[in-house]
Amino acid sequence: IIFFPIIGLCFAIILSCYKNAVLFSLYYALLIHIVIGIIILVLAFLGFTNLNISTDAKGFASLYSTHGFTSTVQTYGTLCITWLMLYLLRKRMGLNTGIDKLFLIITNLAILLTFNRSSYLFWLIVLFFEFPVFFWSMAVLMVAVLIKFWNIITTFLWQLAGKLRPCIAAYTFSNL
């Protein structure tokens, strides 16, 4: 506990002296982590590594979500959103180049591959205000997915509700 303020003070001093260097370093360090997370996901899907876990606990045995070197998809999604915020900051500062648009696409793909609703929510809010065309494209795509897979989604939700009903009843009656 004693060392955290010292580390924070050192970081603040470094940040005040080297603003662009810290921005540059964070931007590319997060990008490298995001790309490695996608590579690990592809390798796990192909069966070459077990660094990525299946989301079997969520009810989808064949669905893999990316989380890079972090322990959860929420943390990985937060890192992706942080990169997106740095991208927007660099865009306003006029530091982005053409390759940064490719990096933006890669990061948006990484956010999609997290399959994490909290990352999706914040991502869609950012898209709504900063990239409205992409936001409406995603909205149309999501409506099309809902229409196409409506029977599968409702079947899954009803099965989940049936499994939870005894747990809810036991919890309700035990608290009376």
| DSSP H helical ranges for the chain | 3-17, 19-46, 73-93, 98-113, 117-130, 132-148, 150-174
- Give 113-164 pLDDT, tens digit per residue: 988 889 999 999 999 999 999 999 989 998 999 999 998 888 877 776 666 5
At 81, the pLDDT band (50, 70, 90 cuts) reads: very high
Residues linked to residue 64 through DSSP beta bridges, in sequence order:
54
Helix/strand/coil for 54: strand
Q: What is the pLDDT of residues 53-78, one digit of tens each?
A: 655 545 565 667 888 888 888 999 99
